[in-house]
Structure 1
Amino acid sequence: MLRHIYTTMKITLRDSSPVVLTHNQCSCVAGTVLCNHTVALLFQTAHYTELNMPVVPPVHSCTESEQQWHKPRTMGVKPGPINSMVFTKPVPNRMVQTGEWILQRHGGAITRGLFRVTEAYSAFSIEDRPLVTTMNMRPDKPLVESAFGIVQEGSVLSYQMPALTSRYTTLHTDTPPTPHLPIEGYVILPCDLPLVCSEEEQLHMNSLSVDLEMSHKIEEATREQSSSSEWHLLRKPRVTASRFREICHVRGESSANSLAEPILKGTRQTAEMRRGAEMEPTVAAEYSRLANVNYSPCGLVIHPSTPWLGASPDGVVFDRTEYPQFGLVEFKCPKLCRLQICADGMWLPKLKKSHAYYWKVQGQLLVSGMQWCDFVVWRTTWCKEYTQIQKCKEQSEKK
């Protein structure tokens, strides 16, 4: 076993420009010449000089320095599943070819005759058979989807590389195109608030200004919402719909300052928020089936007339039975139901107009220009799933 070998070094520098090494000595076996220990010491000395340190800083132990494990990452690298990783060469203007695309181009669809591998190599000895014959492939096994196309059930690809699920739900194909948000031609009338901004405040407001084309591009680029770094960056300096009720009930300067601090600091993702984001695709598919609507995700909506405001609806909905046919949807997935819900469905709770969720929905309608929004509550009670849908219309009265 190797022991820790400590070396003693000594260097002499001439105070000139540039600095000249006049003498060096090290206790290692190569100390008579310029060894690696001496070179490392020279680099470290140059580093301290760049930091303007007159002396060598003390070495703190792990118990003397501040702990780092409790500090989470903010906008750094986020962990993710292995099957979402994409390995490509850094070649510009090169499309990534998936396994399914290669299969369609070179081989077409998989037929069940291709799975008769064991029968094809039955005359071969065990030593001469290829490795594919050990996978127990049979034509009577059911086929399942994967990221590389159709594979047999039980294949490694079926669970290591599952099929990519689309966030879009299309039950009706003969529909008009989904409108860009905010709606073109929709104008938010200015309020009669007598407010004069300072020069610094006016510069900040000017930095938030966008035109309609930019608003549409922002909404399209941030449809992943919390998984998008642009979404976090663009909504941070703005007042979002989730804060509308708090802001409209501010009384006094101290109350405004106490509310402005968490808005500027940002909101950390809680366990409930993470759970809602994970369950959103499932809830969206179930909602689309129950309401018989088309669903598509939505990003951050910013209106050019009020660039300091922002709203992030959970999706845009196409409903044939409504007028206008396009609206918004907002999902809520509470972990625990605070009220008992009758199993027969005779009594359903209704969203209070004084609740923050109602103000949030109204804020989304205000910024986007839509006229209605489905407020969907999906919850599990006693191992049963309940889905409640409430239609919220735009309220034009001002308070």
Structure 2
Amino acid sequence: MLGLYTFNKTFKTDEQWALKARRYFWPKLFTNKFVKYGLQYENIARDLYSKEFNTNILECGLVIDVNNPWLGYSPDGVIIDEYFLPIKIIEIKCPFDGKKLGIKDLLNSLKYIVKHPNGSLSLKKNHCYYAQVQMGIVLLNVKECDFIVHSSYENKNAVLRGRYTESETYTTTERTRC
């Protein structure tokens, strides 16, 4: 299949084709201090969650929908039942500000968290993290996601429970652009 880039880009030498192949098959990894920080603390957040809720977490890579192979999701963890069937996914975020803020202040600073009058917290429904969670719930055929926010400053997690809402899933993923 010829994409627009492939079709319009003219390569005249073997060296140029080799360069194109290297860029396509072995792209440079995207990284910055925020990504490095998140990767550094993700396992710590996962371990804290596992201990707090006394559960085993299965780590896996990219999950592809068999019927829609253009859809994929990489869960940060999957909670399985005694028959090894997935029952819940976890999504972990380790915001860089968690380096200097306790969990309460960190949650108050995050633009993707909504604080309700009763004190409960949830993800903003028009944020890409909400769409990400809904996509993961659908692709792994579970009903819940525990969205974990980690503060390394206090070495604590906050867990926001998200449930699958069939009526919202399609419209959420359609209207949300990351």
Q: Confirm or deny a common fold (TM above 0.5).
A: yes
In the alignment, the residues of structure 2 paired with residue 278 and residue 352 of structure 1 have an alpha-carbon distance, to the nearest angstrom, of: 26
Retained in 2: the 8 A contact 1:296–1:316? Answer: yes
Aligned to 1:339, which of 85, 108, 114?
A: 108
Q: How does 1:240-255 map to 2 (within 5 A)?
A: none
Give ranges in structure 1 of 5+ residues lacking alignment. Answer: 1-198, 202-231, 237-264
Q: How does 1:272-291 map to 2 (within 5 A)?
A: 272-291=34-53
Aligned to 1:157: none
Retained in 1: the 8 A contact 2:63–2:72? Answer: yes
Residue 332 of structure 1 and its aligned partner are, at CA, apart by 0.5
Residue 200 of structure 1 and its aligned partner are, at CA, apart by 5.5
Q: How does 1:194-233 map to 2 (within 5 A)?
A: none
In the alignment, the residues of structure 1 paired with residue 79 and residue 44 of structure 2 have an alpha-carbon distance, to the nearest angstrom, of: 16
Residue 348 of structure 1 and its aligned partner are, at CA, apart by 5.0
Q: Structure 1 364/340 Cα, relative in aligned 2: closer, same or farther at 3 Å?
A: closer
Q: Structure 1 393/338 Cα, relative in aligned 2: closer, same or farther at 3 Å?
A: closer
Aligned to 2:115: none
In the alignment, the residues of structure 1 paired with residue 45 and residue 162 of structure 2 have an alpha-carbon distance, to the nearest angstrom, of: 18
Aligned to 1:86: none
AA at the equivalent of 1:388: A
Q: Structure 1 340/360 Cα, relative in aligned 2: closer, same or farther at 3 Å?
A: closer
In the alignment, the residues of structure 1 paired with residue 46 and residue 130 of structure 2 have an alpha-carbon distance, to the nearest angstrom, of: 20
Query: Is 2:134 aligned against 1:372?
Result: no
Retained in 2: the 8 A contact 1:272–1:334? Answer: yes
In the alignment, the residues of structure 1 paired with residue 47 and residue 128 of structure 2 have an alpha-carbon distance, to the nearest angstrom, of: 26
Retained in 1: the 8 A contact 2:86–2:142? Answer: no
Query: Is 2:151 aligned against 1:390?
Result: no
Structure showing greater Rg: 1
In the alignment, the residues of structure 1 paired with residue 141 and residue 59 of structure 2 have an alpha-carbon distance, to the nearest angstrom, of: 17
Residue 300 of structure 1 and its aligned partner are, at CA, apart by 0.4
In the alignment, the residues of structure 2 paired with residue 385 and residue 278 of structure 1 have an alpha-carbon distance, to the nearest angstrom, of: 13
AA at the equivalent of 1:328: I
In the alignment, the residues of structure 1 paired with residue 163 and residue 143 of structure 2 have an alpha-carbon distance, to the nearest angstrom, of: 6
TM-score (norm 1): 0.29
Retained in 2: the 8 A contact 1:292–1:319? Answer: no
SS of 1:306's partner is coil
Q: How does 1:1-399 map to 2 (within 5 A)?
A: 268-318=30-80, 326-336=87-97, 337=106, 339=108, 347=119, 349-380=121-152, 383-397=153-167, 398-399=170-171
Identity %: 28
Q: Which has the higher helix share?
A: 2
Give ranges in structure 2 of 5+ residues lacking alignment. Answer: 4-23, 98-105, 111-117, 172-178
SS of 1:354's partner is coil
Q: Structure 1 359/394 Cα, relative in aligned 2: closer, same or farther at 3 Å?
A: same
TM-score (norm 2): 0.62
In the alignment, the residues of structure 1 paired with residue 161 and residue 137 of structure 2 have an alpha-carbon distance, to the nearest angstrom, of: 12
In the alignment, the residues of structure 1 paired with residue 64 and residue 28 of structure 2 have an alpha-carbon distance, to the nearest angstrom, of: 18
Q: Which has the higher strand share?
A: 2
SS of 1:283's partner is helix
Retained in 2: the 8 A contact 1:294–1:319? Answer: no
C-alpha RMSD of the superposition: 3.2
Q: Structure 1 386/301 Cα, relative in aligned 2: closer, same or farther at 3 Å?
A: same
Retained in 1: the 8 A contact 2:150–2:158? Answer: yes
Deviations 1:219-252 (A, max 9, x none): xxxxxxxxxxxxx96xx9xxxxxxxxxxxxxxxx
Aligned residues: 132
AA at the equivalent of 1:362: Q
Larger RCO of the pair (alpha carbons < 8 Å, separation 6+): 2
Retained in 1: the 8 A contact 2:137–2:143? Answer: yes
Residue 309 of structure 1 and its aligned partner are, at CA, apart by 1.6
In the alignment, the residues of structure 2 paired with residue 276 and residue 319 of structure 1 have an alpha-carbon distance, to the nearest angstrom, of: 28
Retained in 1: the 8 A contact 2:78–2:86? Answer: no
SS of 1:286's partner is helix
Residue 367 of structure 1 and its aligned partner are, at CA, apart by 2.1
Residue 347 of structure 1 and its aligned partner are, at CA, apart by 4.0
Residue 280 of structure 1 and its aligned partner are, at CA, apart by 1.6
Residue 369 of structure 1 and its aligned partner are, at CA, apart by 2.0
Retained in 1: the 8 A contact 2:147–2:162? Answer: yes
